Each structure stands twice: as structure tokens, then as C-alpha cells.
Structure 1
């Protein structure tokens, strides 16, 4: 399969490019800088992507988007978070719609932030959108795929939870804290955390790519746990104490609106993956964290 991918240089994108190539697929990254051999330049800010390039692809995977936790959520940075997702998605969707030969599938990144704070309530892909900045962002982000869907291309929305890898994402700062004997739960610890191992995330993306699955797909592990249970599992995996909780007030003061959303509870279930017969290699958070802590990213 010939696959066009944006966001290939990101944390998950690097893993996915290698994973797909090892599976025998041809992968062409979209880049904004001068392209190297095997890459294609585009300009999503200006809405520029050559439809003839898209016409050569069997599939398009869009993982573009500025890091949600990279900076404090000022009004300016919230615009960056929105534009970096909507502009890229809309550019790709319009190029697909305008291609002489359209790709069979578009896999577009999204996030479990779509559901907002669910408390103890379990949610799956049939659940409605929640409230808050991330939920609103996800709704607009997903809606930007409509031109591709309207043109007849299968569209799957990858609502990703927290992929666990010690060199990126949620686990990177926590790994350092626990390594320095300074780890603990965040806030009350009662909020649910929708994790997934990186190997399972990669296999799930490939699973959705190769099957006739469309619409939202939760890329999360089958057994969400509370933050307190997650912290205890990480302490076990790293053979470290779990003694120094981060007070919710301190997180909200330090990180502002992002800190408030970071304390949200999201008890998200991967109902579509389970229904379609996907097999998780790491069904429990202990298994996922053991894999993440012991792996060496190449």
C-alpha cells in the first residue's frame, strides 16, 4: 500500500513510519521544509497540497498538530492548537476530494479529549461530545475531514488516549519524576486515565487501515484505570516509591487551563476495536508500563 503521511516527524509519527515500512508499505512523508528524497512538500497554512500527489496514494494518514501540553494555554497558543489541526486536516481533505483518483482511506488523528470530563461514567464511540476547550477542538478537527468523506473516501477518526513510551507523551516527564524518587499521583488520583501501549497503538492504526472501519475509533487500552492506580503501576514497573502527589491546585496554578483539563477523568473504552476483533498485546496498565519502561526506542 502507498501511504501519504503528515506529522511523520512527531513522537507517534516516527514510530508509525518505521512500523508501516517494516510491514512492507511505501510511506511518503509530507513536510513543510525543503523535501529530502522520498518526501513531498506542502503548505497547510496556505491550504496547498498537490492533488496529483494525493492521487498516487492508496491511503493518507494525518497526525499533524501542535503539542497540547507543550506550552501554557494562552489565547494565542490555543489558536495554534486549533489551526495546526484544522488547517492540515482541511487541506488534506480538500486535496483528496479534488484528486483524479482518490485514496481509499483517510485516517485522521483526533483525541479522547472529545468526550470531556466523564467522571466515573464509561464512554465509547457512540457517546456524545463533552464540554471544554479540548472537546470543542476535537469536534472542529473531526469535522474538517468532511470533504474527503463526502467525496467517497473512507474516513476513520483516531481518538487516541495516552500512548505509553518513556521517550514521549505523558510518560516522559513522569518517568523522570519517578526515576528521581519524586513520583506520585496527580490531584485526587480518582480521575480515570485512558492509556494505551505504543505497540498496541501502532497495531491498532494498521488494523483500522486494513479493514473497512470508518467513523470514530478509540485508541485506548481495554481497562482504563484511575490516576492513583496508574501511578502505583508505574512505581511497580520502575521499582520506585509512589509518595509525592502533585496537588490539583498546584497543577492548575502552574499550567492554567491545561492543568484543569489534565485533571479531567476520562473512562474511555475501545468499543470499536473490541467489536472488530482487535487483539491487545497489553491488556492491563501493568503490562503496558512494563513494556514501556523496559523498551529502548531505536
Structure 2
């Protein structure tokens, strides 16, 4: 709490230039003696705050100086506020922090910082989708990570089986609107999707954290492992070059051009795509019809033929089903 008071005292000095111990005490709702000790602590810490005795005296920054509490330069402050985004859409704590940061910046930086905070709007929802609300368990898990406390999770796995686990929360990751928790368990380090966590009860037990744990490096390892699982089967396809960007949007990093336009291929581009199984590739390219041709392997072509036969059996009779208006 004293650190909060010292920051508040310095911000008040920057705003007013001079303040008495009585004024500070009233503003922070503390005793005059405590206010005086806080001002003395600022001075002892090397901040140019000194008392001026007599009528009209008080504590002030030497020469009316404006101390840069944050230590940020102009470019850094703008980058920070661009990253944080609009205060109007932030959580109350973030909004409060933004206001304090702006007040702590040198006067010459403030207008640009405020403009940066309003320059970007982040809309995580795809076209046609509703806004994604953060999972309800995000806040308690975030607190547990910061405070390094164990959490008891009620978790539902891919197979639909619910389990209860006591974990050591190590970090949280937002991947395209889907939140993940990386945590230590009795069986080793695991990754949990927050939308599969029914409840997260923070305990009073201290969490164990590997000494050299790096969340960014660990998430890169998790991503590499998952992408490898998602690309166990590959297929070579022929597609018109103008449709290549659309194909890439379907398969992402699992789409690689292996040969440019070839006359023998009808001027089309030869591309390698991948997924976790042949059926998945067939399902993703089936809607392309004749615009795309799968050259290999046979397993994907077989799956496409099966899908085509199912559609033919379902829709071979063009008559409307009974009851259709």
C-alpha cells in the first residue's frame, strides 16, 4: 500500500507543483505524520522533492521540475498505448492504469499517448460471428498465475470425460480468440483450453514454477507440436493461380506451392496441402468441385469419391421433399 501512496504523492506533485503534508494527508486519507514520512521517503529515494518552510511553503519538485515517472520516451509511450488499445473497451483495471500512466508521462508526451489509445479498435470476431466473450474462468486463472497459487480445475477432455485436477498455473495464451492455460500437473506439463474448464478454484497452496520457465518459448513448442499433428497426411493438388490465396486461407501454413504454372497441368499451380487425416483434406477441398484436382494420394481421392457418392445419393432426385412450400 505504501508504494501506491508514494506513486500517488508523486503524481499529485507533478500535477500541482507544490503540496503540503496536510493537503496530501487529506487527499490520500492518511495522517499528516504519515504524509510527511512519505514525502521524506520520496526525497531519500533521489527524487528532487524538497520542503520549503514558511507561509506558502510545502513540498515541491525542485525548480518546478516534471519528473518522468515511467522512464518512457515518446516512441515507447505511443507504442505502449497502441498495444493496450482503446480504454473505452478495456477492463476497469486497465482503464484506471491507462489514466495513471498518462498522468505520469511528461506533458509533451500526453496528447500523443491519448491519441494512440484511441487510434486502434480490435474486433476479434470474424464476419458473421458474434463477439467472443472471454471465458468466465479467465480472471481467477490470471490471478492465480500472478500470485503463483495452485488451482483446482474441473476439466472436460476431447472425449467428453470430466476430471478434476490440481495444477500449477504457469501462463495464459490467447490464440485467435481461444484461450489456453499452460500448467504443471502430476503427469508433467499440460495445455488446457479454457472453454473446456467448467470451474477453476484458486487455492492457498503455493504453485511450483520451473526456475527457467519461458512462456513464449513454451507456447512456440506447443504450437510446433500441434501443427505437426495437424499435418500427418499431405496431398498434391492442381489449382488455378488466381485461387491460390483462397486455398491458403483454408489450409494456412499447411499450404505450399511445389511448382508454378505448368502447361502439362493446364497452366495450373501444383500445391501441397496437409491435414491430420485424408478425410479432413477431402472435406476441405470437396466444395471446390472441378476448380481443384487432387493428384495424390489415392486415399484422399477415395474420400472425395465417397463424399461425392453420398451427395449424389442424397440429391439425385431434384424433387422437393414432402412438406416443402
TM-score normalized with structure 2 length: 0.23
Q: Larger Cα Rg: Structure 1 or Structure 2?
A: 2
Q: Which has the higher contact order (CA 8 A, sep 6+)?
A: 1
Query: 1 or 2, which has the higher helix percentage?
Result: 2
